[in-house]
Amino acid sequence: MSHQESRTGDARLDTLADALTEHFGVMDCEVSTAPQEVTLVVPRQELLAVANLLRDHEDFRFEQLIDLCGVDYAAYGNSEWATAEASSSGFGRGVDRGFELPETDDPERFAAVYHLLSVTHNRRLRMRVFAGAPQPMVDSVTGVWSSVAWFEREAFDLFGILFEGHPDLRRILTDYGFVGYPFRKDFPLVGQVEMRYDPEQARVVYEPVNIEPRTLVPRVIRADGRSAVPPDSADA
């Protein structure tokens, strides 16, 4: 992208941000900008009204919904990786569990994030709606953008976010008997149950998982030579 094209794109997004603030500021929506992107944060109760305006109003014309995804903001901004003090030999994870995941009663833990495209104005918009608590739920926008139906099912399946008004909200990726929501931050890496074929019963059975949780992380290699193998150990 040339410098002139970049400036043109920034101006187009600035115009979009101004229009969003003008139309939706009174609805307690928040507009944030970053290089080459604009995000609109919408209160749950205003989602359908905002979605219809974004699709139909001449200033926006977001005719297409490209994607919807769920997000779990548990421990957002925290890192469990403290590699600065990791071991100089062998395998070291340097993990720090100094924080705890919040409970699901945090109204801003789960969110649905929508990616919209305006063919008319050739610009994109990210829209975020926090799903509330204790049961995360937002209105379905299948009546606004029909392409969202499968994406809402995916967010329900993986994050447990309910979409009120969805015509067929059921799991789409996991098995019918799956327990829990695998993309939540507090979901165990080994899962909750395991399945196997039982020849005596001639069917698949579900049992509690018996895998031992393990951490398999490669050695931390640093440019300062801390991970180099000492000469004495090389001959051992």
d(CA 50, CA 55): 9
pTM of the model: 0.78
Mean pLDDT on 70-86: 72
Cβ–Cβ under 8 Å, residues 166 and 144:
no
The CATH code for residues 3-74+81-189 is 3.30.460.80
What percentage of the chain carries pLDDT values higher than 70?
75
DSSP H stretches of helix in 25-174: 47-56, 149-159
The pLDDT of residue 90 is: 47
pLDDT digits (tens, 9 = 90+) for 162-212: 999 999 999 999 987 788 899 998 888 778 888 889 999 999 888 888 877
Q: What sign does the dihedral 56-107-31-75 (CA atoms) show?
A: negative
For the chain, the domains span 3-74+81-189
